[in-house]
Amino acid sequence: MPDKLPPHPPSGALPGLVVARYRREFLVEDTEGRRHRCLAGRRELRPLVGDRIAFTPAGHTGDVGRVEHIEPRDNCLERIDSRGRPEPLAANLTQLVVVVAPHPPPDPLLVDRFLCAARLLDLRACLVSNKSDIHPEADGAATVPDELLDQYRALDYPVIECSALTGAGLATLAARLAGEVSSLVGQSGVGKSSLVNRLVPDADQAVGEVSARSGEGRHTTTTALAHRLPDGGLVVDFPGVRGYSPPLPAPARVQLGFREIEAEAAGCRFGNCLHQEEPDCAVKRAVEAGRISARRYASYLDLLRLAGRFDRATPRKRS
């Protein structure tokens, strides 16, 4: 949706960066790194974490500042809600970091959907396998299957194995995050906030136990918060999710989110092949031959069905 905003912020406004969004308030960082509580200056202003903005600091207008203007966005990470409507989550990201762990056990469909979102937005993407200190033999716990990580490595996604507990692998993760605007996403309880606390000494993100009864995280982080990294760049700690779906503009575009499917699609008989029931489909041949994993293909079909459903239910503008 194009922002109907005046082209220039009012004189006297300062440049800032939105680092958190609460119900009505925003936390804005100025160029000196000081943080200011702000409200939106106008109803139609909807700042997101990562937005570059202009704001009037607290002063004679009140005890909170005012966001006056949002600079045009490079991109916007969104999810679709249960009715298929896009909901914006963060702006101006350069990288999506999908975190998995042995505990709670990984949900590969969720990983595929985040990686799909990253590709549709042209963001860098990688996988972090946290809690590498947990050994199944010693702890009787599950593990992140090597075959799963190997599938992503084979697709050229970097996989960083690390532990927020022992610090193993964190230098590799820090190097990957340096200079980028990354968001850490994944299930609740995989250790996103624990990683941020290790990478950003004064982050002070709350950390919660994984429930022994349900085996799931307790949704400890409730709002996205961006932190400056010591080596430059920003990392956004996101609340954990049970499910995620990127906005799917049209069924034909879903395959753009799966690099191996897109690569094989050139060999299909029909240029508009969706790789379902069509004859002479190179993607299905690649699945049968084992060049494309049946699991990834199932993830693709799953998103395709979702896209088709919302495509019919809610006519939306196509990009």
Ligand X SMILES: Nc1nc2c(ncn2[C@@H]2O[C@H](COP(=O)(O)OP(=O)(O)OP(=O)(O)O)[C@@H](O)[C@H]2O)c(=O)[nH]1
Contact 160, 173 (CB under 8 A): yes
- CB of 192: closest distance to Mg ion in angstroms? 5
Nearer to ligand X, 32 or 87 (CB): 87
Q: Are strands 14-21 and 52-56 parallel, antiparallel or unpaired?
A: antiparallel
- CB of 212: closest distance to ligand X in angstroms? 11
Query: Greatest CA separation found in the chain?
Result: 70
Q: Helix (H, G, I), strand (E, B), or coil: what is residue 264? A: helix
Chain residues in the site for ligand X (CB under 6 A) = 130-131, 133-134, 163-165, 188-194, 207-210, 217-221, 239-240
- CB of 141: closest distance to ligand X in angstroms? 9
- CB of 268: closest distance to Zn ion in angstroms? 3
217 touches, from ligand X, Mg ion, Zn ion, none (C-beta below 5 to 8 Å by class): ligand X
| Cα 266-267-269 angle, rounded to 5 deg | 105
Contact 95, 182 (CB under 8 A): yes
Q: Which helix (H) or strand (E) holds 66?
A: strand 65-70
Q: Does 92 bind Mg ion (CB under 5 A)?
A: no
Nearer to Zn ion, 20 or 307 (CB): 307
Nearer to Zn ion, 148 or 283 (CB): 283
188 touches, from Mg ion, ligand X, Zn ion, none (C-beta below 5 to 8 Å by class): ligand X
Contacts of 218 (CB under 8 A, 6+ apart): 188, 189, 208, 209, 210, 211
- CB of 237: closest distance to Mg ion in angstroms? 6
Instruction: Tell me the torsion sign for CA atoms 295, 297, 301, 306.
Output: positive
Contact with Mg ion (CB under 5 A): which of 129, 193, 245, 293?
A: 193
Nearer to ligand X, 56 or 130 (CB): 130
What is the 8-class DSSP label of residue 60? T
293 touches, from Mg ion, ligand X, Zn ion, none (C-beta below 5 to 8 Å by class): none
27 touches, from Mg ion, ligand X, Zn ion, none (C-beta below 5 to 8 Å by class): none
Which residue, chain included where needed, has tokens 């990580």? 149
For residue 99, list its beta bridge partners: 128, 186
Contact with Mg ion (CB under 5 A): which of 95, 182, 221, 299?
A: 221
Which residue, chain included where needed, has tokens 């406004």? 13
Instruction: Tell me the torsion sign for CA atoms 200, 13, 78, 251.
Output: negative
106 touches, from Zn ion, Mg ion, ligand X, none (C-beta below 5 to 8 Å by class): none
| Subset of residues 100 to 159 that bind Mg ion, contact rule: CB under 5 A | none
What gap in Å lies between CA 101 and CA 142, rounded to an integer? Answer: 9
Q: Helix (H, G, I), strand (E, B), or coil: what is residue 155? A: coil
Q: Are strands 25-30 and 35-40 parallel, antiparallel or unpaired?
A: antiparallel
Nearer to ligand X, 116 or 210 (CB): 210
Nearer to ligand X, 131 or 284 (CB): 131
- CB of 21: closest distance to ligand X in angstroms? 16
Contact 220, 207 (CB under 8 A): yes
- The identity of residue 202, as a single letter, is D
Q: Number of residues interacting with Mg ion: please give it, by CB under 5 A.
A: 4
Q: Helix (H, G, I), strand (E, B), or coil: what is residue 135? A: coil
- CB of 104: closest distance to Mg ion in angstroms? 13
Chain residues in the site for Zn ion (CB under 5 A) = 268, 273, 275, 281, 283
Query: Interface residues with Mg ion (CB under 5 A)?
Result: 192-193, 220-221
